[in-house]
Chains A and B, each alone.
Chain A
Amino acid sequence: MSYEERLQHVSILGAAGKMGSGILLLTAMEMADISLKPENKGKPYVLNAIDVSDEALAGVIKYLKAQVLKLAEKKVVGLRKVYAGHAGLIDNDEIINQYVFDVISLVRTTTRLESAYDSFMIFEAIKEDPALKISLFSKIASNNPHQPWFFTNTSSIPITKLDEGAALKGCIIGFHFYNPPAIQKLVEIIKAEQTLPEVEEFARTYAKNLRKVIVPSHDVAGFIGNGHFMRDILYANSAVDKLSPEFSYTEAVYAMNKITQDYLVRPMGIFQLIDYVGVDVCSFILSVMDHHLKEEKLHSPLLDKLLSQGVKGGQFSDGSQKDGILKYEKGRPVAIYDPGTKTYVAISELQSKVDQKLGTMPIPPPWKVVVGSKAKNELLRDYFSQLKNEASLGAALAKAYVLNSHAIGQQLVSSGVAMNENDVNTVLLTGFFHAYGPINNYLA
C-alpha cells in the first residue's frame, strides 16, 4: 500500500482534544492535497474524527474551518494551480472557500469507535492512560481487516508497552507532536522494539510533508521533550521549597516563574508552562515516567496537592488559558494560587517585595527579540556573561537553573534517550520555542 493509498482512510482518536484537533487539521489538509491531484480524482478519502462528546466534536468543525481558511489564504499561490482546471473558480476568494470545503468534507465526526474499523491508519491523541490506549488499540486491531498502522501521540508511555499490550506486532510508532501541532515545528518519532521499517518510513514521509522537524527519540518513558520538561518542573518545585521560609509559597512561585521566564529568556515561566500543558496532564506524565523509570523518583507532591484542590490549568477550546497555578487576565498571569488559603494572591501585592529580594539583575533581552534576531547568539552570550558576574539572589537562582537544565540535557544523552546533544537542543528549540538549547556553554 503506497503512502497515498494509506491516507485514503484514516481515523483520529481524541480528535476533539487540543492535540487531536491539531493533528486532524494537518492530516485533513495533507489528505485533501492528495485527493486534489488529478490522478486521484474520484477516489474517496475519509478522515474519521472520533471522540467521546458530540459537543466537543461540533467545536472541532468550527476550529477546522477557521484554521483551514487561514492556512489556505497563505497557500493560495499554489492553490490557484491546484484548481486551474475548475473554470468556475476564478477569484482567490472562490478558490480558498472551495479548498476549505474540500478539506472539511473529508472529515466525518463521530463518537463511534467502530468507524475506525475501516481505516488503514489510526492516529491516537487521547489522554495519557496506557490501559485505555491499549484497550482501544486492541479493539480496533481485532476488528479491522486492514491491519492498520497506529500512530500514537503519547508524550510519555513507552511505545513497546503499547505494542505488546495491544498485540500490534510492530504496526505502531510514536509520533509526538508538540502543542499546538499546527504551529510547533517539532515531531518526536519513537520506534518500539518491533516497529516495522515501513511504518517508520511512512512516519518520516508524513512528517516531511507536514514540514515538521523530526527528532528521533529512544523508547524511554517521557522521551526527550518531557524527559527535560518534567525534570525541569521537579527542579522548580524543589527551588520553591528551598526558598522557604524567607519567601512565602506564593512569593517563591512568583520568583521562580519570573526567573525561568525573564532571567532565562524563555517564552513563559515554568509555572505558566505547567498551566499551559495542564497540571493534570503534567501529573499524569510524571506518574507514567515514575512507573517506568525505577532508578529515579519522578513525583511532585505539589502538583498532586494542587490537583486535589481542583487546580488544573489547561486551555479553553478557543485556545485561551484557564486559571491554574496562576490566574490569568488577557493571557497574562495576575495572581498565584495559594493552596494554604485556597485563594489567589495578586501578583501586584508581592511583586515589589520579591523583586527587591531577588536583587539587581542584568537586563535580559526579551525572548521575542532574541528569537527574531539574526544576532541571537551574540545577544545571549552578552547577556549570560553579565549574568555570570552578577551575585544577587536572583542571578544565583537563575544560574543554578541553567546549569540544572544543562545537566538534564546531558542525562538524556548519556542515558540513551536522545541520540546526541543536538537532538536535545532541537527539541527544546522547536518543541518548546526556547531561544537556546539547554546544552550550551553560556555560563562556562
Chain B
Amino acid sequence: MVAGYNTISMGTGRKEFNPKKDRPGLEEYIREAGQGTLTQIGGAGNVDECVIGNFMASRFNRQANLAAFFPFVDEGLRYKPAIRVEGACATGGLALMSGIKSVLAETAEVVLVIGVEVQNTVKAIYCADYLAGAGWFKNRKDGHAYFFPGQFSDRAGSYFEKYGRDKTRLALARWFRNAIENARLCPTAQEHHNAVQDLEALAMMEPNGKTFIDNLNVFDCSKVSDGASAIAIVSEEGLKRCGIPATEAIEVLGWGQLEEDITKPPVDPTELTTTKHAVAQALASAGITRDQIGTAEIHDCFSIAGLMCMEAIGFAEKGKGADFILDGNTARSGHVPINTTGGLIGWGHPTGGTGVHQAVTILEQLTGKAGDAQIKISSDRPYGLTVNMGGDDKSLVSIVYQKGKYFSLQMAASTCKVP
C-alpha cells in the first residue's frame, strides 16, 4: 500500500467546527481524499479499479450509489470499475480487503481505496439511530437511546463485575489520555486542539445513566466525525507504474477477515471473541507472533473496547488489560505504542473511513512519514497490526503489515495462509 491521505477528522473538538454553519459535504470529503492519493501515484491514469467504503450515507447524507463519485474525484476515473462496500465500522477494512483481493486476483495492479463518512449532518441523538444499523435491527427497540454506547456500557459493566471496577476505570482514563496526547501530535486529528491539562482527571468523570449510559462517560467514547481517508493498493508492477520505490510502501503480510452472527449476543461480554479469532488468523497468515509487532492501530470506538482488544490480541492476559495499560505499555513511549495518531477516540471515527485511516497511519509510521507523531520502529519488531471492528465484535478485519523492503505484495500473498 502506498500514498495514504487523510482529510481532517471534523467535528466537536476542532476549532473550526461550527455545527450551525455550512460545512463540506460527503462529495467534498471523497474528492479531497481521492485526489490526495491520486497526486502521489501519478494521477488517475494509473488506476485500474476503485473501491469506496461507506457505512451509512444513505441516512446521514441521503446518498447512495457512492461508487459513481469516483469520476467526480477525477475525470480520469470515468468508465473504470468501481465498487462500494459496507460492513458498519469495519467498512474501511473491508474496502481494503476488496482492493487487496483485486490485486491478488490480478484483475488490477493499482486500486484506489477511499473510506468516508460524514456524520455531523444530525445531532448525536439521531446519529445513534443511524449507527444502530451496525447491530441487529430487531434489538433496536429494546436497546439504549445511545445504542452502541449502551452495548459497550453493558460490556464494561460485565468487565467491572468480573475484574474490578476501580482499576479498570483508571485504565480507561489512561487510555483517553494516551489518545488525546497522540492526537495533539497529528494535525488532522479531531482532538488535535485539545489543551486540557489533567486528561485523566477529566476522564474519571462519573458515568451518568440517567442522561447517558451507566458505565461509560463521554470521554470513553469516540466522537461523531466527518472525514475520509484514501490509499492505493498496488502490486509490484503497480509500484513501478506509479514510479514509487518499495521502501515508501508497506506490504500486506497477512490478514484475518471474518464475520460473527449479528443476531447472537456476545459469547462472553468481557472479551472480544471475534476480534481474538481475527487477530490470530492475521498473525498466523503473516507467519509472525504478536511479540514481533512494533505498533498497532486498533478499534477503540470505546475505551473499554480498546482495553478488551489488548486482551484479544494477547498483549495482556484476560482480565489483565487494565494493568497492561496502566503500566504504560500502550503509550507512545511504551512497549507497543497503540493508536499513535489518537485512534478512534483521539483522531476521530468517521465510521466508513476508519479502517482506511488505520492503514494510512501504519503506512506513515513504518515509512517514517508520521511527522510529529512518528514513533521509533525497532528492527526486531518491524510489524504493524490493524484491527477494524464492525458492530459489537461482529465484522472483523485485521491486517499485518511491514515496510516494503523484502517482499512484494504478490510474494507475500503467495506465502500467506489465506484464511
Residues of A at under 8 Å CB distance from B?
A: 73-74, 76-80, 84, 87, 90-93, 96
Contact = CB atoms under 8 A, between A and B. Distances in A.
Contact of B144 (A79, A80, A84): A80
B145 A76 contact: yes
Nearest to A95: B145
Contacts of A96: 125
B210 A92 contact: no
Contacts of B146: 77
B140 interface: yes
A76 B213 CA distance: 12
B212 A92 contact: no
A91 B210 contact: no
A78 B146 CA distance: 12
B145 A93 contact: no
Interface residues of B, number: 16
Contact of B128 (A74, A87, A90, A92): A92
Nearest to B211: A77
Nearest to B146: A77
Contacts of A92: 125-126, 128-129, 145
A374 to B, nearest CB: 12
4 pairs of A and B residues whose beta carbons are closest in the complex: A91-B129, A76-B145, A77-B145, A90-B141
B129 A73 contact: no
Interface in B131-162: 132, 140-142, 144-146
Contacts of A77: 144-146, 209-212
A70 to B, nearest CB: 10
B20 interface: no
A80 B145 contact: yes
A87 B141 CA distance: 8
B21 interface: no
Contacts of B264: none
A73 B141 CA distance: 17
B123 A93 contact: no
14 contacts: A73-B125, A74-B211, A77-B144, A77-B210, A80-B145, A84-B142, A90-B140, A90-B141, A91-B126, A91-B129, A92-B128, A92-B129, A93-B126, A93-B129
A356 B130 CA distance: 58
Contact of A76 (B125, B141, B142): B125
A73 B210 contact: no
Given A77-B146, A93-B129, 8 more contacts: A73-B123, A73-B125, A74-B211, A77-B144, A77-B209, A84-B142, A87-B141, A92-B126
Contacts of A87: 141
Interface string B367-399: 000000000000000000000000000000000
Nearest to B143: A80
Nearest to A77: B145
Contacts of A93: 126, 129
Nearest to A73: B125
Nearest to A87: B141
Contacts of A80: 144-145
B41 to A, nearest CB: 42
A78 B145 CA distance: 9
A333 B207 CA distance: 41
Contact of B140 (A78, A84, A91): A91
A78 B141 contact: no
